Every structure is written in C-alpha cells, then in structure tokens.
Amino acid sequence: MITRGLRSADLARVFAVVAFGTAFSSFAIQRLTGPATLHTMVAGLCALGLAILIARRRELSLLGLAPTLLVGFVLWALASVLWADDASDTLRSWLSLLAYAFLAVVIAHTRDALQTLRALGDVLRALLAVSLGAEILSGILIDMPIPVLRIAGDIALGGPIQGIFGTRNYLGFVTVIALLTFLVEWRTQSVSFGRSVVSITLAGLLAVFSASPTAFVVAMVSTVALFALALIRRVDAARRRDLQLGLGVAVALLTLAAYLLRSRIIDIVGAATDFSNRSRIWAELLVWIPRRWLQGWGWHGGWSNDTFPFNAINWQLRIDHLSALNAYLDVALQLGWVGLLLFGGMCAIALVRSWITASERRSSVYAWTPLLLVAILTESMFESFALGGAGWMLLALCLVRAGQARSWRARIGDAIDPAPTTHEALPHDPR
C-alpha cells in the first residue's frame, strides 16, 4: 500500500507543486519563520523524494538519473571543502546545492514536460498573486512598509516593488520565467484561455512595477530567442541544419568577443547605465579570481561577511554584496576555471540539446526548456540566482530534462532495455 502510494501520479503532482512552492517562497519562509523552517522543509522534501525514487526504482536507470557534467559540478563543489578557508560553511552550502538539485531530479523523473510546466505555472500564479496583494496592502490599503518582507509599499508611486521575493530584480526574474511558462501553457492549451490571459497580464503588470533593468534585458533576449526558435521550427528540415549551424556560430562568436572585450564592456556598462554597481564588483573580481584561478576559494553559494574572501571584497568596495551579481564570475571565484568549465559546459550542452529537440518536435511544450535556459543564462550575466534556491533548482531541472531528450546514456539504456523511460511512459495528464 505504501509503495503504491509513493508511485502514484497524485503524490508526484503534489510533490512537484510543494517543491516549486518551497523553492520560490524561500525568502518569505525564512523571513516569517526562520531559516530552520526552510531547511526542515527542504530536508523533508528530499527524504520524500528519495522514497519516491526507491519506490519507482524499476522504472529508472541509474545511468540516466542526472547529466554527467551536473554530477561533476556538484562533486567539484564538494571537493572544494578541502581547500576552502571555512570548510563548515562550504559543506553547508554544498548540502543546499545538492538538495535543490536532487528535488529537480525527482521532479524530472516523476513528471513529464507538460505536467512539470503546469505545476510550475500553478505555483507562480499563486505567488505572483500573493505578491500583488501584499504590495496593494502595503502601498494602498495601510500605506506603510512591511519590513519583515522588505516590502517598501511603493506600488502607488509606480514602483519599484519587490513582492514576497525580497528584491525587485528577483521579482523581475520570476516574472520573466512566469511569462514564458504562461505563454507555453497558452500554446499547449493546457489551461483555459481566460486563465492564460489573466496569468500573462498579472506577470506583465508585476514585471513593469518591478522596474528591474535586468529583467528588461532578459525579456528582450528571451523574445529574440522565442522568434528565432519559431522561425527555425517553420523552416524545412533540409534547411534547418544550416540555419542552426549559422545561429550557433553567431552565438559562439558573440560569446568569444564578449570575453575578449570583458574589461571594456564592464567600463561601458558602468558608465552608460545604472549597472555601475555591478561594474565595480566585476572589476574587483577580475583581481581576485587569478589568485586561485584553477580551484577557486571554495564553494559558499551566497556571500557572507564572516567568510574570506567575500568579506575582503566587500570591505574593498565598501558595500555588503551577497553575490558577485554575475553567476559566471561567482563560479570562477568560488570553484576556479575547473568549476567554470563544468558549469559552462553543462549549460551549453543542455541548451543545444533542448534547442534541437524543440526545433524538431511539433509540440510547443518542447520550447519551454530552451527558452527557460536562455532566460536563466542571460540573467546569470547580471545576478547569481542560478547558483542557489529556486534558480539553481530550475536550472538543474532544465539540464535533466534536456538530457532525457538527447543523451548518449539514453541510447545505451535503450540498447540494454528497450522499455520506455519514466518520463515517456507517464500519461500526459496536465494536472
């Protein structure tokens, strides 16, 4: 009876909704009840997820559980305990990294793409509605801030607002993810037209009120990616390969140019926009990264003023930063070039795999993974959301999902056991 319950589709759906809800509500949970509550919730979800995977062990393949580079990245972060200045903090941060990645693995192997899309859509709808309600309460009804949630109550002034996510940039990031999710929901007709319109309007409204410059950039890049993918999907199969190759070469050249001109770009960005705060910290990081260029200073995730070298960097800048405001530089600082190559490699491979899959398959649901990856990787140029919490969980989910569609391990598994894998065998019930 217990095994049957652990293998049930209803439990898998509830697990996905609660896991997404916990990850995206982590700031509010910590502020309202304390970090211990959040840690207990995540640990409990991991224990339940492990029980679910054990109950479904005959449907799963250990070889295809997670992408190789994702496993390598997590293991390299664990290895950094050996050379980190604060080994205990590194271990705690690594446990958080592992926990959210594990939740993503469980969701990816118990829910198919459409079911995952619906679970995330339901969670984001609820959290954005709560955020709007909290801002209206603070800024209009009682006309005073809500310090415990860092809500300033500026919605009546046109923003910026933070909702229950702590900062306007994180709210902006969530709204972009929500917009992509709601658009794919609409295209797949997995929710009613009215709900789609209300959801898209809600996310768009909060995106505007967040006044997040990074969200604007991510939204523009995601829009370009959306139209590029739509164009590729309409091209004949014979011409699609050449178009894909040309697009890939263009992206690679732009990435190389950005790296070679990184110092100049930082100067331009800092001088021309309100990204000046970022330009200062990025320039400082380019001084610290070469000092331990191979292995980094040890994995810590978010920065702490009690930990070296983050306290030294913040002292130098006279500002208490909680991250490098750039996921790639953060990885290079904490895990060196080895970690950066693992991180960049797993993201690039997942993007290519999911992009090709989306361009070849008719259903719009396959476009969700590459578009989310584009949004996350673009946001990673301005924030480090992808290295912890909901951002990391969503990134890990995209990596696993891309590996399920195209992977050398999947071909080996099919050769050994031709039975369909879990994500293919599950019914396409959008609930």
415-429 confidence digits (pLDDT tens): 455 444 444 333 344
Average pLDDT over residues 123-143: 95
pLDDT of 274 reads 54
Q: What pLDDT digit, counting tens, does each position of 235-246 carry?
A: 777 777 777 778
The pLDDT value recorded for residue 420 is 43
Mean pLDDT along residues 181-203: 94
In this predicted structure, what is the pLDDT of residue 257? 79
- The predicted structure's pLDDT at residue 262: 61
- Specify the pLDDT at position 410: 53
Q: Is the pLDDT of residue 150 over 50?
A: yes
Percent of the chain at pLDDT > 90 equals 64
pLDDT tens column, 280-319: 898 899 999 999 999 999 999 999 888 899 999 999 888 8
| Banded model confidence at residue 411, pLDDT cuts 50, 70, 90 | low
pLDDT of residue 217: 86
SS (H, E, C) the chain: CHHHHHCCHHHHHHHHHHHHHHHHCHHHHHHHHCHHHHHHHHHHHHHHHHHHHHHCHHHCCHHHCCCHHHHHHHHHHHHHHHCCCCHHHHHHHHHHHHHHHHHHHHHHHHCCHHHHHHHHHHHHHHHHHHHHHHHHHHHHHCCCCEHHHCECCCHHHCCCCCCCCCCHHHHHHHHHHHHHHHHHHHHHCCCCHHHHHHHHHHHHHHHHHHCCHHHHHHHHHHHHHHHHHHHHHHCCHHHHHHHHHHHHHHHHHHHHHHHHCHHHHHHHHHHHCCCHHHHHHHHHHHHHHHHHCCCCCCCCCCCCCCCCCHHHHHHHHCCCCCCCCCHHHHHHHHHHHHHHHHHHHHHHHHHHHHHHHHHHCCCHHHHHHHHHHHHHHHHCCCCCHHHCHHHHHHHHHHHHHHHHHCCHHHHHHHHHCCCCCHHHHCCCCCC
Average pLDDT over all residues of the chain: 88
Least confident of 182-196, 214-228, 390-404, 414-428: 414-428
* pLDDT tens digits, 48-91: 999 999 999 888 887 788 999 999 999 999 999 999 989 999 99
Per-residue model confidence (pLDDT) at position 266: 59
With cut-offs at 50, 70 and 90, classify the pLDDT of residue 369: very high
Q: Name the least confident of 142-146, 163-167, 268-272.
A: 268-272
Residue 219's pLDDT is: 92
Q: What does pTM read for this prediction?
A: 0.90
